[in-house]
Amino acid sequence: MKFRQIEAYHCVMISGSAVRAAELMGITQPAVSRSIAELETALGFALFDRVRGRLVPTTEGQLFFREVSASFKGMDRLKSAAAAIRDFGSGQLKIASLSAHGAELVPKAVQNFRTKHPKIRIMLQILPSAQVRNQVVDGHFDIGLAADEIDRSGLDTTHFAGVSGVIAMASGHSLAERDILSPADLKHQPMIGLAPEDRARHRFDAILREAGVTPEYVIETPSSTTACALALSGDAIGLVNPLVADGFVARGLVLRPFAPAVNFRSFLLFRPDVQKSKIVRDFARCLFELRDTLG
């Protein structure tokens, strides 16, 4: 039993005649009849009765057509899937992001991307940078956004953004009256520290040490979002990524620039052993376009 024989039988059933089936397949009518005869031999039962030059489906032929129709529907799905892979690389996009970009930038980029690719299914997860890195390396996500403290070996990485950190505090804090803060302003202040492995924390601590200031950390958290919440509700202050602070500012959080500047840096992550599909390239383009718009 060969596919060409099945195709001939299917065309006869849907068109009603061997002549029309031959036209659909682009072959001769005798070739269609020969394929049908060979298929009947392979199956061991007749698919058609020959009545006055016409092919009339037998009961067995009608039952067999149900199975063939289901198979051809499956073929149609395969053709649709092949078209999606040809055009987009896959029908879905899996994104992992650190919280700093996952709060606003990445969701906006997703919406912009969907205006161009509304049929692509998207999975977005917000994870710590180390987990973003591991998930991309393991092939569970197509693209990742992570802070610069991760190990970038084994990855295809592109620098994405660098934003200057700000000092977050409650509105009634004494430092809220200052327009800009320096290391000397932070002396003897209860501080909220980012995780010790955070590169922005490293840079911040180095600046303080160089100025002769020892930070007095009373709370540590890996998340700028959590640091904002803690600063809003207490007396401690902390260096945070301003990309996560908008919602907290609306609730009364005060942000002040810090000099010398401390950059929060992030990278786009891709698997190096997999060629970037069209949808991955298009989403990365949306990210960069939005980043440039937000300035």
pLDDT score recorded for residue 84: 60
The residue out of 41, 57, 88 marking a domain boundary is 88
Task: Indicate if 121 and 206 belong to the same structural domain.
Answer: no
Residue 79 tokens read as 């053709």
Q: Provide the CATH number for the domain around residue 41.
A: 1.10.10.10
In this structure, the answer to whether residues 83 and 107 fall within a common structural domain is: no
Neighbours of 163 (CB within 10 A): 18
Residue 46 CB: number of other CB atoms within 10 A? 15
Q: 47 and 170 share a domain?
A: no
Q: For residues 207 and 26, give the distance between their C-alpha atoms in angstroms, rounded to a whole number.
A: 77
Helix segments in the chain, DSSP class H: 3-15, 18-25, 29-43, 59-88, 99-102, 105-116, 129-137, 199-210, 224-233, 246-249, 278-294
Q: Domain of 179: which CATH number?
A: 3.40.190.290
Q: Do 196 and 66 belong together in one domain? A: no
> What SS3 class is residue 264?
strand
pLDDT of residue 85: 60
The answer for residues whose C-beta is within 8 angstroms of residue 151's C-beta and 6 or more apart is 133
24 and 158 together in one domain = no
Check whether residue 132 and residue 206 sit in a common domain.
no
Residue 158 shares a structural domain with residue 170: no
- Return the pLDDT at 273: 78
Q: Are both 66 and 96 inside the same structural domain?
A: no
- Segments forming the whole domain that contains residue 23: 3-88
For residue 44, give Cα distances in angstroms to 21, 33, 37, 47, 176: 23, 16, 11, 10, 89
pLDDT attached to residue 135:
94
Given this model, what pLDDT does residue 98 score? 93
Provide CB contacts within 8 A for 212, sequence distance 6+. Answer: 183
Q: How many domains does the chain have?
A: 3
The token pair that represents 109 in the structure block:
């980029």
Whether residue 51 sits in one domain with residue 10: yes
Q: Residue 111 maps to which CATH number?
A: 3.40.190.10
Going residue by residue through the chain (295 aa), what tens digit of pLDDT does each one get?
A: 888 999 998 999 999 899 999 998 899 999 999 999 999 999 999 999 988 878 899 999 899 998 888 888 777 776 766 666 665 555 789 999 999 898 889 999 999 999 999 889 999 999 999 999 999 999 999 999 999 999 999 899 999 999 999 999 999 999 999 999 999 999 999 999 999 989 999 999 999 999 999 999 999 998 899 999 999 998 999 999 998 888 899 999 999 999 999 999 999 999 887 778 889 999 999 999 998 886 5
Q: Are residues 238 and 174 part of one domain?
A: yes
pLDDT of residue 260: 97
Is residue 76 domain-shared with residue 18, that is, in the same domain? yes
123-138: burial string, b at 16+ Cβ within 10 Å, e else? eeebbbbbbbbbbbbe
Q: Is 206 exposed, middle or buried (0-12, 13-18, 19+ CB in 10 A)?
A: exposed
Residues 182 and 239 in one domain: yes
Q: Which residues pair with 190 in a beta bridge?
A: 216
Of the candidates 35, 68, 88, which is a domain's last residue?
A: 88
The Cα angle at residue 199 between residues 198 and 201, in degrees rounded to 5: 65
